[in-house]
C-alpha cells in the first residue's frame, strides 16, 4: 500500500509513503535538463524541465516512483492492482496520438508540463501502454496523482479507458478506484476536530469524557480505503506554521497518520509490509525530504544544488540507518 498527499502553506508540498515488503534499491534521482530521454514510442526529448524524485535506476534509466519538476508540477505512482489496465501498443502508422509506456509516464509528463492544466492537455492526446521496461521488471499496475499548487488530478487507466478525475482532497491511496474512495468519505460526514454534541437521543445526556472524541469512527486499520479516510481527515484539518521547517514537519505528521509498522500487515507467510520511505517535496524549491523505516531523521536533497544543465543523472542512495542523538554521553 502507499499513500500520497499534498499540503499547502506558503509553498506547496507533495509526497508519499511507499509501503511494501521489500525494496528495489531506489535512490533519490535528479534528472538534469539535458539528460536525453529516449521514449519507447514517442521519440527523443533532449532538453526538458529538470526532475527530482525517487527512482529505481535500471540500465541508467530513472524509473520514477514519484517526482517533481523545476516548475513545481509533481506526480506519484501508487499500486492499483486488479484495476489498472493499459492499452496494447499499436504500430506507429495506426495511431495519431503519442504512445507512452506506463514506466515512462512520470518523465513524459514532468519533462514537458509546467502545470496540471498542461498535463491535462498531454493526457488528452496519449495512449498509455502496458509495455514492460524489461523482462526482469514487468509492467506495474499503478494509478497516479498529479498536482501543482493550484490543482490536483488522479489518472486511472482501466479496462474502460483512461480516466482523469479532479482530486479536491489531494490524497490518493490504492484500491478501490478513486471515485469510490471519495464516495466513502460520505460515511464520515459527522466526524469533526471538535468535541461531539450529545445528540444520540434526547433522553440520554452522554459525556465527552476524553479529548479527540469528534474523530470517533475514523478507521485505524491499514486497508487502502481506511488510510484514504484517515489521511484525508488529518490533511484537511491540519494546521501548521507557514515556514519551511514547520510545513515539512507537519507534512511528515500527516503521512505519519498512516505509517505501517512491521508486523501489522502480513502479505505472505512471514513477510510484512512496512513504510519503506516517506517523502515530502517542496515543489517550489525542488527540495526532496525523506525519512526511511529506520531513519526518522529527515534528510534532504536540493535539486538546485546540482548542475541542472548537465546531461548525466545524479543519484543519492537513501540514508537508511537511524542515529540516536545522545544527550548525556
Ligand atoms: C511496489 C510499489 C507500490 C507499493 C504498493 O503500493 N504496495 C502495496 C501493495 S497493494 O496496493 O496493497 O496491492 C510500486 C510503486 C512504483 C512502482 C515502480 C514504478 C517504476 C517502474 C515501473 C515498471 O513497470 C516496473 C518497475 C518499477 C520500478 C515499479 C516497481 C514497483 O511496482 C513500484 C515501486
DSSP strands (E only) in the chain: 2-8, 12-20, 27-31, 37-39, 43-45, 51-58, 61-69, 74-79, 98-101, 126-129, 142-147, 152-158, 161-166, 171-172, 266-268, 271-272, 274-282, 287-292, 299-302, 314-317
Q: In the numeric block, which cell numbers belong to residue 256?
A: 505519519
ipTM comes to 0.95
DSSP classification of residue 173: -
Q: Indicate if ligand 1 lies below 6 Å from the C-beta of 66.
A: no
144 CB under 6 A from ligand 1?
Answer: no
Distance 255 CA to ligand 1 centre (A): 18
Does residue 78 have its Cβ closer than 6 Å to ligand 1?
Answer: yes
pLDDT tens-digit profile, the chain (329 residues): 699 999 999 999 999 999 999 999 999 999 999 999 999 999 999 999 999 999 999 999 999 999 999 999 999 999 999 999 999 999 988 888 999 999 999 999 999 999 999 999 999 999 999 999 999 999 999 999 999 999 999 999 999 999 999 999 999 999 999 999 999 999 999 999 999 999 999 999 999 999 999 999 999 999 999 999 999 999 999 999 999 999 999 999 999 999 999 999 999 999 999 999 999 999 999 999 999 999 999 999 999 999 999 999 999 999 999 999 999 98
Ligand 1 centroid, distance to 116 Cα (angstroms): 23
What's the CA angle centered on 266, arms 264 and 268, to 5 degrees? Answer: 170
If you measure from the C-alpha of residue 142 to the centroid of ligand 1, how many angstroms do you get, rounded to a whole number? Answer: 7
Pocket test for ligand 1, best of 23, 140, 267, 273 (most atoms within 8 A of CB): 140
**Ligand 1 center–CA 275 separation, angstroms:** 13
- Give the nearest ligand 1 atom to 80 CA: 11
Amino acid at each position: 500500500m502507499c499513500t500520497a498527499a499534498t499540503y499547502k502553506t506558503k509553498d506547496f508540498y507533495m509526497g508519499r509513503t511507499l509501503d511494501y515488503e521489500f525494496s528495489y534499491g531506489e535512490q533519490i534521482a535528479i534528472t538534469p535538463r539535458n539528460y536525453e530521454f529516449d521514449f519507447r514510442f514517442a521519440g527523443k526529448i533532449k532538453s526538458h524541465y529538470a526532475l527530482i524524485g525517487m527512482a529505481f535506476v535500471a540500465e541508467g534509466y530513472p524509473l520514477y516512483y514519484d517526482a517533481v519538476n523545476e516548475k513545481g508540477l509533481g506526480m506519484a505512482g501508487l499500486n492499483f492492482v486488479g484495476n489498472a489496465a493499459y492499452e496494447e501498443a499499436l504500430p506507429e502508422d495506426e495511431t495519431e496520438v503519442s504512445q507512452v509506456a506506463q514506466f515512462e509516464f512520470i518523465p513524459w509528463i514532468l519533462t514537458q508540463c509546467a502545470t496540471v492544466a498542461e498535463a491535462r492537455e498531454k493526457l488528452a492526446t496519449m495512449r498509455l501502454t502496458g509495455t514492460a521496461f524489461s523482462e526482469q521488471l514487468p509492467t506495474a499496475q499503478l494509478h497516479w496523482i498529479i498536482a501543482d499548487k493550484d490543482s490536483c488530478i488522479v489518472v486511472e487507466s482501466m479496462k474502460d479507458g483512461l480516466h482523469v478525475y479532479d482530486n479536491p482532497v489531494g490524497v490518493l491511496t490504492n484500491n478501490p478506484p478513486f471515485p469510490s474512495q471519495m464516495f466513502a468519505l460520505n460515511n464520515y460526514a459527522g466526524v469533526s476536530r471538535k468535541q461531539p454534541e450529545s445528540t444520540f437521543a434526547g433522553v440520554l445526556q452522554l459525556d465527552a469524557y476524553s479529548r479527540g472524541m469528534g474523530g470517533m469512527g475514523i478507521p485505524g486499520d491499514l486497508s487502502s480505503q481506511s488510510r484514504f479516510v484517515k489521511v484525508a481527515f488529518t490533511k484537511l484539518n491540519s494546521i501548521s506554521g507557514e515556514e519551511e521547517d514547520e510545513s515539512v514537519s507537519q507534512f511528515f505528521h500527516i503521512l505519519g497518520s498512516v505509517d505501517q509498522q512491521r508486523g501489522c500487515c502480513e502479505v505472505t507467510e512471514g513477510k510484512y509490509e512496512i513504510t519503506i520511505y516517506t517523502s515530502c517535496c517542496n515543489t517550489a524549491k525542488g527540495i526532496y525530504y525523506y525519512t526511511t523505516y529506520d531513519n526518522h531523521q529527515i534528510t534532504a536533497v536540493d535539486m538546485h544544488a546540482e548542475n541542472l544543465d548537465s546531461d548525466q543523472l545524479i543519484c543519492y542512495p537513501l540514508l537508511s540507518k537511524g542515529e540516536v542523538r545522545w544527550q548525556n554521553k
